[in-house]
A and B are shown apart, each in its own frame.
Chain A
Amino acid sequence: DQQVKQNSPSLSVQEGRISILNCDYTNSMFDYFLWYKKYPAEGPTFLISISSIKDKNEDGRFTVFLNKSAKHLSLHIVPSQPGDSAVYFCAASAQEYGNKLVFGAGTILRVKS
């Protein structure tokens, strides 16, 4: 029962172009969404989050968009840099789950120079 799905296992983008990472969820009770970035042999690091009362949150090159009616969110990275190459995890939180995050399976992003 995967409540958070990242359907693209991998994505390859040219340096300088936009990277768009997608995430779908099934539980309408989710009200916070987060993106984590993970390099090999390191733990995931928090990147950006969005509350369900918003539809967009921007932090530098990173923007997260939320479409509640479609139960879909996306992470945009503009411009993409080689150092952005990593695994990106989408995660969601709901009041009923307390402080637990529900994670997707991750998308491997490769930025080619």
Chain B
Amino acid sequence: GAGVSQSPSNKVTEKGKDVELRCDPISGHTALYWYRQRLGQGLEFLIYFQGNSAPDKSGLPSDRFSAERTGESVSTLTIQRTQQEDSAVYLCASSQRGGIRGYGYTFGSGTRLTVV
């Protein structure tokens, strides 16, 4: 597609429920990243996929968070047993080359998750 597509754009869920967020990267982009932005804070790195390499999961805040990516296509971020502190905008980004050093990513519009 022309840009990075994320769905849903908004999600309200009850505390304790599981949610699944989807990201469609730009076609041909080998690298995919998940970030989140909680209210009043900067973008917080969650996880990074590069081709068929093992993902860098160092930013996942707890074992309730997991993400998958099939090849160089769609990625899903799953949050189990959601808590109120999980409320944030979850942003997906992709880049044409794994080494973005200075080139930047292309972000999607994000999924706004609200846990009530």
Which A residues contact B (CB, under 8 angstroms)?
2, 4, 6, 31-32, 34, 36, 41-46, 49-51, 89, 91, 93, 98-106
Contacts and interface: CB of A to CB of B under 8 A. Distances in A.
A113 B91 CA distance: 31
A105 B41 contact: yes
A36 B105 CA distance: 10
A39 B96 CA distance: 23
A93 to B, nearest CB: 6
B50 A99 contact: yes
Interface of B: 4, 31, 33, 35, 40-45, 48, 50, 56, 59, 91, 93, 95, 98-110
B106 A99 contact: no
Instruction: Name the 5 nearest CB pairs between A and B, nearest first.
Output: A43-B107, A46-B104, A103-B43, A103-B42, A105-B42
Contacts of B40: 105
Contact of B106 (A41, A46, A91, A93): A46
A43 B108 contact: yes
B100 to A, nearest CB: 5
B30 to A, nearest CB: 11
14 contacts: A43-B93, A43-B106, A43-B108, A89-B42, A91-B43, A93-B100, A99-B33, A99-B50, A99-B95, A101-B100, A103-B43, A105-B41, A105-B42, A106-B42
